[in-house]
Structure 1
Amino acid sequence: MKAVVLAAGKGTRMLPLTVTMSKGMIPVANKPLLRWTCSFLDFCEEIILVVNESQRDIISEFINEKKVRLVFQEQALGTGHALIQAEQLVDGKFLMIYGDDIYGEDDIKAVSEMDGIVMSSFVSDNPKAYGVLEVRDGHVISLEEKPGHPKSDLVNCGLYLLDKSVFVALRSIPLSPRGEYELTDAIKILIGEGKVKNHTIKTWIPLTYPWNILDANRHMLDKYGSSIDRSVELRPGAVIEEPVSIGAGSIIGPNCYIRKYSSIGRGCKVGQAVEIKNSIIMDNSFVSHLSYAGETIIGRNCNVGGGTIFANLRLDDKNVKMEVNGVRVDSGRRKLGAIVGDNVKFGTRVTVMPGKRIWPNLLVPACMTIEDDIKSEVPLSKYGTPRNEEEMPSQRLEKTGE
């Protein structure tokens, strides 16, 4: 059996992380999302990975994989159009899966062993946010996108067992109002023909928003346990509360407290008396002495000055909201810190308020309080490494609500 993995999306709701990396390459428990997906599909004879040509990080990661075949979607015309790119490479039944969500390994295998066309569902406590299935006698009889009054709590989770008939259906659908060919429109045709079975899976973590990465990180650490590379240096007084993941060559300084569900990448340095809680620190980033990061994601090659605080709790104890594509979105989380892009340098004693985003390649001067998303328009390389606070380009900091 073959599997088709759709991974060509731009991931705009994951900004600022996806300014410099593809969504499928965001690390969860120190492994890119697509690596997890492909490992769960290892039983397949071939994995067809649909990407776009600008995703150089995905291409570099998988170009030499014997079992993975890269296929390019030249135009961003939707999930249906993406699947059509693999039409000539599949025969008979095949799996189709979204490459940037988390599924259970056992669930994927179970779907692959079924007969006919299968649409996987998941029991959701918020079905209004997804496509909702109506099921009768094991068959899907309707699919409605984001209904105001859902007919069930079963939602479409993007894991399918398909055959060549899906391509016939895809060629009969028009462009959607978004200007895309939607895979779900083709699935609705197959539903109308009575061909689609339902299979409800146990594990699905949709990675829609940045905080969902923290959900996925926690799930993977819970399921697969801690991973601390042998080369990691733990200095006296450091406390590690498992499960955590710490990559090769990292140094955990004296009297640090690395709390459970934290992932620290390769080549990182965590300074004296730093506390990291339920956070992701990506490769080659430094978090200097006396800093705190709670429910925070820090990108690659960042340098966090001493005494910096990534706050994660509102004073009024309400859910933290985050700006996403110009809309204030309730994270559903009482605790949520910052989302920091790659190559950001912080001066000392910076405070970042809950739910804020900081774009890549930014210098953040010392003693600032970040109360809004900060977006950089000027590359860090223009300035080099400043020698003191006066040389930092504070006038270049721009507040943005997108």
Structure 2
Amino acid sequence: MKAVILAAGKGSGLGAITMTRPLPMIRMAGRTLFDNTVDLLKQSGINDIFVVVGHQKEKLIERINDHSQNGLNLHYMVQEKSGGIGRAVLKVKDKISPGEYFLLIYGDTVTAENIFFKAQQSFHAFKCPIASICLPPSNEMFGNVFLNAQMQITKIIEKPKGDSLGNYVLSGVFVLPESFFGLLEKNRGSMEKALKQLVEDGSMKASMWEDEWLDIVYPWHVLEANKILMDSWQESSIAKSAVLEGNVTIQGVVHIEEGAVIKAGAVLEGPCSIGKGSYIGNNSLIRSYTSLGDHCSVGYGVELKNCVILDNTRVGRLSFIGDSVLGERVDIGAGSMTVNRTVDWKSVSIKDGKRLVDSGLNKLGTFIGDDAVVGAGNTIEPGTTVAPGKILEPRYSVTR
């Protein structure tokens, strides 16, 4: 069976984090979301993979070429203009043979276990189109699904309101026939209408997914996805070329990659991940659910807590980065702090365009885009987004 990954969208709700990269190229738990998806497909026995790219496509195309050199048969199609999910699916129409079924995957979803293998099992059992469904903590943002006792899907409501809410939601994984392209064309590229027609024809069954699942919509979902992946780790992995000086404390499961240097007095509380060639200064505290990218530098006495930090970023001495996401090549000056709660412990909101979105979390820090500079001594309000390339001047208590 062939697989199609939809990776052309911008992920506009993620703000600064996806302005400069495709959403699947966000690195968490030591690897990109795209790498995690491809590895799960490979474990499922799928080697023919088509990826629809669009926003910031060059970075994803480069990664696709890397995987192709490792024995996978990966190809990409370009969706130049955002035209919705259905238009993206139609980009691979001539790659699927008549009578053939294919696995369709939304590239912004995260699972640690193999949801693709489960969908294939359901397809072989039912021998008909399949939609993977799950029970999320909240179902208001997703297409709601209703089914009967035989696992046949009887109704899909794409944007449910009020009493229309169901228990199950679409989890972004489908097994569809080649004839589905005809339904898309008939419905002018509307994925919603094409799926509803399959349901009305009585030919779509559900594959129940009962493990962790997440659709990455807002910035704090990157932290949640990172946690899902790290919680699946069973054992530590420390590269032979990593250097751990005396009096380094390691607690729990850690992944430390090639060439990393951990200086004396540092404490690593797993699960956490330290990327290739990264430097952890003396007496630093790396707390649980921290993912540090490649070639990063963490200065003396820094505390990192539940954060995702991408490649080539520097955090100056005596800083605190908590419940935050930092892009690539970010420069954090000494003594800076991402405050991660309000004084009254109310949930933190983040600005999405002109509106505020309540995260529902009472601990949430800052989201900083690529190449931003935060000068020494800055204290950043919870829920702040810093645009790529922005410079926050140092905060001096005494000036010349």
Range of TM-score over shorter length? 0.7 to 0.9
Q: Which residue matches 1:342?
A: 370
Q: Which residue matches 2:12?
A: 12
Q: Which residue matches 1:265?
A: 293
Q: Which residue matches 1:139?
A: 152
State the distance in 2 between where 1:173 and 1:325 align.
Answer: 31
Q: Which residue matches 1:218?
A: 227
1:223 is displaced (CA, Å) by 0.5
Q: 1:250 to 1:54 in 2, by over 3 A?
A: closer
Q: Which residue matches 2:92?
A: 86
- Among candidates 194, 197, 207, match of residue 202 of structure 2: 194
Q: Which residue matches 1:245?
A: 273
Query: Do residues 155 (structure 1) and 169 (structure 2) align?
Result: yes
Q: Which residue matches 2:133?
A: 121
Q: 1:94 to 1:105 in 2, by over 3 A?
A: farther
Q: Cα deviations across residues 21-79 of structure 1 (Å, max 9, x unaligned)?
A: 11111111121111111111112130100112741101111135142111112331110
Give, as a single letter, the amino acid of the residue that structure 1 aligns with 2:13: R
State the distance in 2 between where 1:140 and 1:309 align.
Answer: 49
Q: Which residue matches 1:386?
A: none
Query: Which shows bigger deviation, 250-259 or 37-46?
Result: 37-46
| Counterpart secondary structure, 1:77 | coil
Q: 1:54 to 1:282 in 2, by over 3 A?
A: closer
State the distance in 2 between where 1:325 and 1:162 align.
Answer: 35
Task: List alignment gaps of at least 5 residues for structure 2.
Answer: 235-253
- Among candidates 97, 103, 106, match of residue 105 of structure 2: 97
Q: 1:63 to 1:302 in 2, by over 3 A?
A: same
Give, as a single letter, the amino acid of the residue that structure 1 aligns with 2:347: N
State the distance in 1 between where 2:395 and 2:190 align.
Answer: 48
Q: 1:104 to 1:183 in 2, by over 3 A?
A: farther
Q: TM-score, normalised by structure 1?
A: 0.87
Query: Which shows bigger deviation, 312-321 or 14-23?
Result: 14-23
Q: Which residue matches 1:36?
A: 36
1:182 is displaced (CA, Å) by 3.0
| Counterpart secondary structure, 1:15 | helix
CA contact (8 A) 1:321 1:329 kept: yes
State the distance in 1 between where 2:73 and 2:112 align.
Answer: 21
State the distance in 2 between where 1:368 and 1:126 align.
Answer: 44
State the distance in 1 between where 2:341 and 2:7 align.
Answer: 33
Q: Cα deviations across residues 106-146 of structure 1 (Å, max 9, x unaligned)?
A: 32101113221001111123222211111012100100123
Q: 1:143 to 1:59 in 2, by over 3 A?
A: same
Give, as a single letter, the amino acid of the residue that structure 2 aligns with 1:289: R
Q: 1:63 to 1:291 in 2, by over 3 A?
A: same
Query: Do residues 170 (structure 1) and 170 (structure 2) align?
Result: no
Instruction: Say how many residue pairs are matched.
Output: 365
Q: Which residue matches 1:205?
A: 214
State the distance in 1 between where 2:394 and 2:356 align.
Answer: 28
Map 1:389-400; keep pairs closer than 5 Å.
none
Give, as a single letter, the amino acid of the residue that structure 1 aligns with 2:75: R
Query: Which shows bigger deviation, 346-355 or 125-134?
Result: 125-134
Q: Which residue matches 2:240?
A: none
State the distance in 1 between where 2:49 and 2:107 align.
Answer: 11
Task: List alignment gaps of at least 5 residues for structure 1.
Answer: 175-180, 370-388, 391-402
Q: 1:244 to 1:155 in 2, by over 3 A?
A: same
CA contact (8 A) 2:111 2:228 kept: no
1:224 is displaced (CA, Å) by 2.4
State the distance in 2 between where 1:274 and 1:204 align.
Answer: 32
| Counterpart secondary structure, 1:38 | helix
State the distance in 2 between where 1:104 and 1:182 align.
Answer: 30
1:326 is displaced (CA, Å) by 2.0
Query: Do residues 25 (structure 1) and 25 (structure 2) align?
Result: yes
1:104 is displaced (CA, Å) by 4.4
State the distance in 2 between where 1:8 and 1:169 align.
Answer: 21
State the distance in 2 between where 1:53 and 1:321 align.
Answer: 26
CA contact (8 A) 1:127 1:150 kept: no
Q: 1:34 to 1:309 in 2, by over 3 A?
A: same
Q: Which residue matches 1:333?
A: 361
State the distance in 2 between where 1:334 and 1:126 align.
Answer: 17
Query: Do residues 62 (structure 1) and 64 (structure 2) align?
Result: yes
Give, as a single letter, the amino acid of the residue that structure 2 aligns with 1:254: N
Percent identity between the two aligned chains: 31
Give, as a single letter, the amino acid of the residue that structure 2 aligns with 1:44: I
Query: Which shows bigger deviation, 95-104 or 191-200?
Result: 95-104
State the distance in 2 between where 1:110 and 1:134 align.
Answer: 20
Give, as a single letter, the amino acid of the residue that structure 2 aligns with 1:61: R
Give, as a single letter, the amino acid of the residue that structure 1 aligns with 2:362: R
CA contact (8 A) 2:9 2:55 kept: no
Query: Which shows bigger deviation, 142-151 or 39-48?
Result: 142-151
1:87 is displaced (CA, Å) by 1.1
State the distance in 2 between where 1:154 and 1:324 align.
Answer: 27
Q: TM-score, normalised by structure 2?
A: 0.88
| Counterpart secondary structure, 2:225 | helix
